[in-house]
Structure 1
Amino acid sequence: MLGPVYYYVIIGGGMAGLQLALQLSRDVFFKGKKIAIIDPSDKDKNDKTWCFWEKGAGHWDHIVSSSWEKGLFFSSEAKLELDLSPYRYKKISAIDFYTEVKKELSHSPDVIFIKDTITEVDTVKMQAIGEEGNYPATHFFDSRIPADYLEAKKATKIFQHFRGWEIETENEHFQPEVFTMMDYRLKFKNSTSFMYVLPETSKKALLEFTFFTPFLTEEKIYEEMLENYISEILKIGDFRITSTESGVIPMTDFPFEKKNNRKLTKIGTGGGWVKPSTGYSFKNTEKKTGKIISNIKSGHIPGKNLVYNRFRRYDAFFLDVLARHNQKGEAIFTKFYQANSIEMIFRYLDEETSFSEDIKVMLSLFGYEFIEAFFRKL
């Protein structure tokens, strides 16, 4: 039996779905248009951490738990000190984001939260089919990863996968004003793997051992690498683990955006909103939800021009190299950080550079692996 007809159904109450619902609810253009946010989880746990860089003050500064204007990059043979100015690197805990956004949305008469698992979207009958009920709508925003993603043979698929420990120590070991973007001094065999360190105080930090690889690994590998890094690199003997987190993020050139049409728009991870070459998604989501709002108000389909094909091609080259020459990741990232200013790196990753600037960045990474990737991905 069908319930009320919603104007929009948002499938997935995670970061993308909540950011989209928030922007819709704040715009008078959408006043009176009923929105259902459907997710199997209550989003009441701190299940992840999001980090991003931006210039000056931002929309989320009131829930930013830590931020840094200096960073470090370590290869096995070099140490780079990174002055991020005019940017800052910012950290948000998922629970703070969920709590903040859900609180605001709870005051909107147009937004309803529904706990259910959607198994199918029928764009003929225009309903999302769930385990607990069916939900008619005029448009669906779907964050689920498409079923044909893993079987797609032409797409390059690697994974960012990680395990993180938030630790506290008795003595002072960390510089709270400096974070570590990548530390390759300890890595797993012949892989692109590194440590990522976000210090909050001199005695507290989040450490994540991270892989950019075509393969996944066992939990014990992450644990061993974290333990070895803490003892061998940081020289910390006694510490206490206060929380843990882990994740697997697809890094791929799969064309998620081709699923978009007048009835359905893929969003979040399922829409390709994770930057393929880095795994970052928070600021991408803010930009893409803003673009969706603009598209709707201009009379276009919501998913129009959500992907910059030029930058997607660059990401495809990079992913192809990492997939085929994963042991060279350290050397590639070292050249990337040594040959380019932080401002250029951030603008390039934010897809804000000109074509001539793109050429300079790509020349800094020049090697036969990228030439091979270029011809494979033509």
Structure 2
Amino acid sequence: MSRRPDIASDVVVVGGGAAGLSLAHRLAVDGTATVTVVEAPDGPLRPPGRTWCYWEEGPGDFEEAVEASWTRLRVHGADGGAVTVAPFPLRYRMLRSERFERLVHARLARSPGARVVRATAGAVREEGDGAEVLCTGPDGGALRLRARLVFDSRPVAALPSARTRLLQHFRGWFVRTAGDRFDPEVADLMDFRVPQPRHGLAFGYVLPLAPDRALVEYTQFSRTPLDTDAYDAALDHYSREVLGLGAWSVEAVEQGVIPMTDGRFPRRVGRRVFRIGAAGGATRPATGYTFAAVQRQSRAVAAGVRAGRAAVPPAHGRRALAMDAVLLRALDTGRIDGPAFFTGLFRHTPAPRLLRFLDGATTPWEEWGIGLRCPVGPMLRTAVELPFLRRRPQPAPVTVAPRERSR
């Protein structure tokens, strides 16, 4: 095996997904630090294309890569009743990983202090006042990346111990219909007009890209993923019987699993080594949304590096995580009706406040008002029992596709 010269920089970011590229972009474009991103070479280690969704006010850092956006959001209850809200001044946006990566790579290429290395990252170890990442290049050659700080976005080998663990698992079709079937201004976040599983909940998810094109997904919150045939059967039923799409063709597919857990993800794994993104707890446990939290985390990390501090702050506040823990337990035990709960949130809470709540940006008083519209008895019973439950080791995660919806 050949040996290549070491590459040194202020920061090494391991992984070129949403979290890794967002942090590298923030560090390099602002001139905060020199940064090396190590991405897996083409092949089985590179993840397939993913979709990330989030809400934002005004144009953001990655507006050039936005695939589509929506001014109105809709939820269909299990009884067929629809709730449509306009969350102005927020818009719901979709990014696809390919366009996002091309945009960030182009910006990094124009930044003199940034480089992207295609290699398979292996061990990360601390050396003196810094750390190094041992890599293998596409040709089998060894490569050592050295830096003052390392931020690792790779999926964790095992999930942290938790009291509750559900999975948000999904499969989606990018469809083209024979006629116009979609309203490009309205995104269906949750459509509960699908058969519900015995445990957990299920819903459809529709993001129109044009009057005759959309991402149509089937999602479950439950303990175990389905096989591909089961997802496709559910998608066919939803597209044909519920949406009434008529004739359609499938142009692309996405599929993934997001752990929904109240486990505590460690963000620091050494004096100079940190975890970021989903591996560092950026996924909101009760919703699966990640992308917006990754941006908050990236800004905070860059500000700390600029000020000479090395830290990855929590992506979600303590109150938000405590409320999520209660909700996950209540869903897992069946104490609350999931479709009725989520439909009620959208029916009774002003949309901008609800989206701020899902981002963890509401005040305690606003959260109290939202809580009064929830099933108080089951939620209170769950909150009382949680401190007495043991956190148990969790199985290794299945393939994860974090979404800010993937999410």
Is this a same-fold pair by TM over 0.5?
yes
Q: Is the 8 A contact 1:261 1:301 kept in 2?
A: no
Q: Distance in 2 between matches of 1:6 and 1:61?
A: 29
Shift of 1:38: 1.2
Q: CA deviation at 1:45?
A: 8.4
Q: Distance in 1 between matches of 2:314 and 2:234?
A: 41
Task: Name 1:165's counterpart in structure 2.
Answer: 173
**Pairwise CA distance, 1:11:** 0.8
* Alignment gaps of 5+ in structure 1: none
**Residue 364 of structure 1 aligns to a residue in which SS?**
coil
Inter-partner Cα distance in structure 1 for 2:290 and 2:313? 19
Q: Report the 3-state secondary structure (helix = DSSP H, G, I; strand = E; otherwise coil) of the residue aligned with 1:105.
A: helix
Which position in structure 1 is the counterpart of 2:391? none
Contact 1:72 1:182 in 2 (8 A): yes
Instruction: Check 1:292–1:229 CA distance in 2 against 1; reply closer, same or farther (3 A cut).
Output: same
Query: 2:372 corresponds to which letter in structure 1?
Result: L
Hey, what's the Cα distance between the residues in 2 that align with 1:141 and 1:155?
Answer: 28
Give the Å deviation of 1:159: 1.6
| Amino acid in structure 1 at the alignment position of 2:125 | D
Deviation at 1:109, TM superposition (A): 2.6
Kindly indicate whether the alpha-carbon contact (under 8 Å) linking 1:184 and 1:193 is maintained by their aligned counterparts in 2.
yes
Distance in 2, Cα, partners of 1:80 & 1:121: 49
Superposed, 1:221-236 pairs within 5 Å as 221-236=230-245
Equivalent in the alignment of 1:203 = 212
- Quote the offset at 1:306 in angstroms: 4.4
* 2: CA distance, partners of 1:307 / 1:229: 34
Task: After TM superposition, give the deviation of residue 46 of structure 1 in Å.
Answer: 6.7
Partner amino acid for 2:112?
P
What SS is found at the alignment partner of 1:256? Answer: coil
Q: Contact 2:29 / 2:108 at 8 angstroms: preserved in 1?
A: no
Q: Distance in 1 between matches of 2:253 and 2:316?
A: 33
The CA distance in 2 between the partners of 1:254 and 1:314, in whole Å, is 13
TM-score norm. by structure 1 comes to 0.92
Structure richer in helix, relative to its length: 1
Contact 1:260 / 1:303 at 8 angstroms: preserved in 2? no
Specify which structure has the bigger relative contact order, considering alpha-carbon pairs within 8 angstroms and separated by 6 or more residues: 2
Deviation of 1:104 (Å):
1.1
Q: Partner of 1:284 in structure 2?
A: 293
| 1:42 Cα offset (Å) | 4.9
Q: Give yes or no for contact 1:293–1:302 (8 Å, CA) kept in 2.
A: no
Quote the residue 1:140 is aligned against: 150
- Taking structure 1 as reference, are residues 175 and 24 closer, same or farther at Cα in structure 2, changes over 3 Å only? same
Letter in 1 for 2:38: I
Report deviation, 1:155. 4.3
Is the contact between residue 182 and residue 194 of structure 1 (CA under 8 Å) also seen in structure 2?
yes
208-217 vs 298-307, which moves further? 298-307
CA distance in 2, matches of 1:233, 1:262: 53
Does the C-alpha gap of structure 1 residues 305 and 162 become closer, same or farther in structure 2, counting only changes over 3 Å? closer
Q: How do residues 120-135 of structure 1 correspond to structure 2 at under 5 angstroms?
A: 120-124=123-127, 126-132=131-137, 133=142, 134-135=144-145
Q: Alignment partner for residue 164 of structure 2, among 144, 150, 156?
A: 156
- Whether the aligned pair in 2 keeps the contact of 1:257 and 1:307 (CA below 8 Å) is no
The aligned amino acid for 1:177 is E
TM-score (norm 2): 0.85
Q: Corresponding residue for 1:40?
A: 40
- Aligned-partner Cα distance in 1 for 2:361–2:205: 25
Partner of 1:49: 51
Aligned CA distance change for structure 1 residues 57 and 95 (closer, same or farther; 3 Å): same
Which residue is equivalent to 1:370? 379
- Label 1:198 to 1:307 Cα distance change in 2 as closer, same or farther (>3 A): closer
Classify the secondary structure of the residue corresponding to 1:28: coil
**Two-structure CA RMSD over aligned residues (Å):** 2.2
Q: How many residues align?
A: 373
